[in-house]
């Protein structure tokens, strides 16, 4: 076992949704009971990004009101899901942040603190209770259950709980992304092809390339390094089948040897959460639908003045390159140090649509976000909101470059430069 050394900070189509909600009944049944219940194995269910999951376990009358208990989780955010409770004409809400270790056994990416316990004051008598989980990112709010309880007369309503204080997620950097400091790692020599549905790959130092050929695969607390001696393009991780969902958490994509032939991750239907990628050419190359990059640190791209892949002209390196696909979200992430663009939408092989970039810090490139329509036309459903852009672009203050046909149907708002000035769209 190799101890993981502490890292030092590094400076630095169309409009349609394919998000869907599918949970095997047997697996959810294991979570309907009290928190002490033993949950079904993770491979017994499938969840694809498209809204929160959860269950209302208890709805009961208490003195002066009703109490609801259950669990909720939204894979599009690491924050607690907001649970709204409607009792007749009275509304209440609270966060799903209480201990529920049984949830993590079914949804490993959710963690253990996904429970809720909310009391809403109400009048005596028969009361209809409805519970809604508030969606973040892809998907929509979920109304999970409505039940009726009877509140006894003569009871005193409890004082309402204070609203939770708003929190700001930390800016991703080398200390809060990647493998947590002190994590023991086991060396895996050679390439790794994953063919077992529901596989969880954890605590590995992989001295080779990873190929995903199964659904519901999770890679966590691991480093993927590739191998030296490349003479043609390779990606540290490849997930080429839209039917195979991949989640990478608290991991690093850092090659053992720098090369103009090496990229980070390529494919479709994957989520990167608290992942660090550096020292590759294109860090995230998207070729299909359903991609999430959240709380991640993408930086220090490789750039060659004479790249053999471009006829010995300079490298076109990007933090994120989107060749085709829809339902793509970049959230609370840092994208920096690329030479071409932090995000390059090429539409090289098909339509691109429903792209969201929000709450992130982006810099570098000739222009930081560069949108090309090519033969596929305007990008449908593009949103660039509440981001901070650097001033280090080769074209002055070129944060977002879009053709007018795309910018006229896009939402670009709430964005600023690091000096506080407002970002406007440059016409491409």
Tokens of 389: 């852009």
Confidence (pLDDT) at 153: 67
Confidence (pLDDT) at 294: 97
CB-count burial class (<10 Å; 0-12, 13-18, 19+) for 47:
buried
Confidence (pLDDT) at 374: 94
Confidence (pLDDT) at 166: 64
Confidence (pLDDT) at 9: 42
Confidence (pLDDT) at 6: 42
- Residues 6+ away with beta carbon under 8 Å from 11: none
The 10s digit of each residue's pLDDT in 221-251 is 999 999 999 999 999 999 999 999 999 999 9
Which residue is listed with tokens 């944060």?
399
Confidence (pLDDT) at 161: 63
Confidence (pLDDT) at 28: 44
Ordered structural domains, the chain, with CATH: 25-151 (2.60.40.10), 184-427 (2.160.20)
Confidence (pLDDT) at 160: 59
- What is d(CA 328, CA 397) in angstroms, rounded to the nearest whole number? 25
The 10s digit of each residue's pLDDT in 179-235 is 999 999 999 999 999 999 999 999 999 999 999 999 999 999 999 999 999 999 999
Tokens of 238: 């490849």
For residues 51 and 135, the answer to whether their CB atoms sit within 8 Å is yes
Give the chain's residues under pLDDT 70.
1-50, 153-166
**Model's pTM, two decimal places?**
0.65
């Amino acid at each position: 076992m190799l101890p993981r050394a502490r890292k030092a900070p590094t400076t630095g189509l169309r409009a349609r949704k394919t998000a869907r909600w599918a949970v095997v009944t047997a697996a959810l049944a294991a979570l309907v009971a009290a928190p002490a219940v033993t949950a079904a194995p993770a491979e017994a269910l499938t969840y694809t990004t498209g809204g929160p999951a959860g269950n209302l376990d208890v709805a009961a009358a208490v003195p002066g009101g009703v109490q609801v208990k259950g669990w909720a989780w939204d894979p599009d955010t690491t924050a607690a899901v907001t649970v709204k409770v409607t009792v007749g004409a009275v509304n209440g809400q609270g966060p799903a942040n209480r201990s529920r270790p049984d949830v993590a056994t079914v949804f490993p990416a959710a963690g253990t603190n996904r429970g809720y316990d909310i009391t809403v004051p109400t009048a005596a008598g028969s009361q209809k209770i409805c519970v809604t989980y508030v969606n973040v990112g892809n998907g929509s709010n979920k109304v999970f259950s409505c039940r009726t309880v009877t509140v006894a007369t003569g009871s005193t309503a409890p004082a309402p709980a204070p609203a939770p204080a708003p929190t700001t997620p930390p800016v991703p950097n080398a200390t809060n992304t990647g493998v947590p400091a002190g994590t023991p790692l086991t060396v895996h020599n050679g390439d790794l092809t994953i063919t077992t549905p529901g596989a969880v790959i954890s605590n590995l130092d992989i001295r080779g390339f990873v190929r995903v050929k199964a659904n519901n695969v999770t890679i966590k607390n691991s480093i993927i390094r590739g191998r030296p001696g490349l003479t043609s393009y390779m990606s540290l991780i490849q997930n080429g089948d839209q039917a195979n969902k991949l989640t990478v958490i608290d991991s690093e994509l850092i090659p053992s040897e720098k090369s103009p032939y090496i990229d980070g991750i390529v494919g479709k239907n994957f989520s990167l959460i608290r992942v660090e990628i550096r020292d590759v050419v294109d860090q995230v190359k998207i070729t299909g639908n359903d991609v999430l990059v959240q709380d991640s640190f993408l930086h220090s791209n490789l750039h060659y003045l004479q790249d053999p892949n471009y006829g010995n002209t300079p490298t076109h390196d990007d933090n994120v390159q989107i060749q085709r696909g829809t339902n793509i979200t970049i959230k609370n992430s840092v994208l920096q140090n690329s030479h071409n663009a932090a995000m390059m939408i090429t539409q090289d092989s098909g339509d691109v649509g429903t792209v969201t970039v929000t709450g992130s810090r982006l810099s570098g490139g000739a222009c930081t976000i560069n949108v090309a329509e090519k033969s596929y036309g305007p990008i449908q459903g593009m949103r660039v909101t509440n981001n901070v852009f650097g001033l280090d672009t080769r074209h002055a203050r070129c944060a977002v470059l879009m053709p007018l046909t795309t910018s006229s149907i896009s939402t670009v708002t709430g964005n600023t430069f690091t000096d506080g000035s407002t970002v406007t769209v440059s016409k491409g």
